[in-house]
Amino acid sequence: MRAAVRLWARRAAALGLVLLAGCSGGGRAPDGDAAPPVSRAQLALEPGDGAQDVPVDGRVAVSVTGGRLLTVRLADDRGTPVPGTLTADRTGWTADHRLATATAYTLDAVAEDAAGLRAVQHAGFATVAPEHTFVGFFTPEDGSTVGVGMPVSLRFSHPIADRAAVEKAVAVTSDPPLEIAPHWFGDRRLDFRPRAYWPAGTRVTLLLRLKDVEGAPGYLGTQDKDVHFTVGRSLVAAVDLDAHTMTVRQDGRVLRTLPVSGGSPEHSTYLGTMVVSERFEVTRMNSQTVGLGDEYDIKDVPHALRLTASGTFVHGNYWSDPAVFGAANTSHGCIGLPDAKGGSADSPAGWLYRHTITGDVVEVRGSRGDRVAPDNGLSDWNLDWAHWTAGSALGRS
């Protein structure tokens, strides 16, 4: 799906990029089947998804009508939870503490109605930064373990005019040592990657020395921080849209070949190399969020792996005819795998979800479809090395 972070998406939300679940094989149940039941619980989150410059002493709250809250989690960009208080009747929740400045937060709530049907809602927002400063929101998270395709991505809270000064204040190192180069995507995003995928087991460090660096006239950086992450095992999923298959290899060995259904001729799937940036055990996909009108609205898409910011996912599909998997491309641009309503751990989609972490690679090929843009999600690998290194403001690698 091609219309226009978690952390990448959470930080993207901190910069005003609202990442929306996009595609599916359609919102209608198969002919002759009743529409799936929908929870009567209606959640409201404050601030809303994508909110920027939220006051640090502003209200953070969750309310539900037609049901009761089961869980609420507010966490900052390090994953540190912020405590809150539930009302006695479990229809409301408010944060207990003042928020930090210039910080990306995620707010997730789960509720259920009287029939036990669950509703889920997610919001990502960012608090206000002090006047005339800027910060870089980084992906991946400090202390995380990621797949071999994960670039280091920085998104800045203010447009950078002096890219050379900012780039000089940022470094990425690895153990074992690798050739790592930066590339600017516009004036708010700076990514780093090696020439090829990270070797499994690599230890990577991001050095942010932005404090007092003038990134734009009158705007000073505030960060002096080291970020560490580890590259786990190598997992690469190769999708052949013409053969309707996904071959999953771990450390070069084939684990499994799965049947898939990609984008239809009218809504072809992007070709190229994409990287898993988020994982959702269940999420909502609404065609209005990606400019496709009222074609579908599925509130419980299982086992969803985000590939692009514009709404391309690999996800479970329980509503399409099982015969399409491995045989036909019928979706609105996503890559669907067989699954059951509610998500089955034993389904192809459930199996893939269990074996996948953020940073894992999905390589898509086929005879039709556009190539994914390198700045759409974490698709950095679609630039060859010469074009990648040309994107450095310092002309360095």
Q: Which pTM does this prediction carry?
A: 0.69
pLDDT greater than 50 at residue 1:
no
| pLDDT tier for residue 2 given thresholds of 50, 70 and 90 | very low
% residues pLDDT > 70 (the chain): 88
- The edge-to-edge listing of strands for the beta sheet with 133-134 is 133-134, 219-221, 214-216
Instruction: Tell whether 227 is covered by a domain.
Output: yes
Together in a domain, 72 and 144? no
Together in a domain, 241 and 355? yes
For 307-318, how does the pLDDT look when each residue is reduced to its tens digit (9 = 90+)?
999 999 999 999
What is the average pLDDT score of the chain? 89
Instruction: Tell whether 395 is covered by a domain.
Output: no
Strand pairing category for 61-65 and 92-95: antiparallel
Mean pLDDT for the stretch of residues 252-267: 96
Together in a domain, 139 and 114? no
**pLDDT value, residue 69:** 98
Together in a domain, 299 and 346? yes
**pLDDT value, residue 197:** 98
pLDDT greater than 80 at residue 233:
yes
> Per the structure block, which two tokens stand in for 318?
């329980």
Instruction: Tell whether 33 is covered by a domain.
Output: no
| pLDDT tier for residue 15 given thresholds of 50, 70 and 90 | very low
Place of tokens 């074009």: 387
**pLDDT value, residue 198:** 98
Q: Pick from 67, 96, 126: which residue ends a domain? A: 126
> Per the structure block, which two tokens stand in for 271?
């070709």
pLDDT greater than 80 at residue 296:
no
For 23-77, how does the pLDDT look when each residue is reduced to its tens digit (9 = 90+)?
544 444 445 556 678 999 999 999 999 999 998 888 999 999 999 999 999 999 8
Together in a domain, 102 and 117? yes
What's the one-letter identity of residue 54? V
Mean pLDDT for the stretch of residues 113-142: 92
pLDDT greater than 50 at residue 391:
yes
- Which has more confidence, 16 or 341? 341
Residues 6 or more apart from 127 whose CB is under 8 A from it? 53, 54, 55, 56, 99, 100, 101, 102, 103, 105
Together in a domain, 241 and 331? yes
Lowest average pLDDT, out of 32-46, 194-208, 245-259, 320-334, goes to 32-46
Instruction: Tell whether 390 is covered by a domain.
Output: no
Q: What is the number of domains present in the chain? A: 3
Together in a domain, 293 and 334? yes
Together in a domain, 361 and 254? yes
**pLDDT value, residue 199:** 98
Output the domain CATH number for residue 139. 2.60.40.3710
Lowest average pLDDT, out of 17-26, 162-171, 222-231, goes to 17-26
Catalytic machinery residues: 315, 334
What is the C-alpha radius of gyration for the chain, rounded to an integer number of angstroms? Answer: 21
Q: Pick from 231, 264, 283: which residue ends a domain? A: 231
Together in a domain, 113 and 147? no
Instruction: Tell whether 66 is covered by a domain.
Output: yes
Together in a domain, 262 and 348? yes
Domain that holds residue 248: 235-381
Together in a domain, 244 and 376? yes
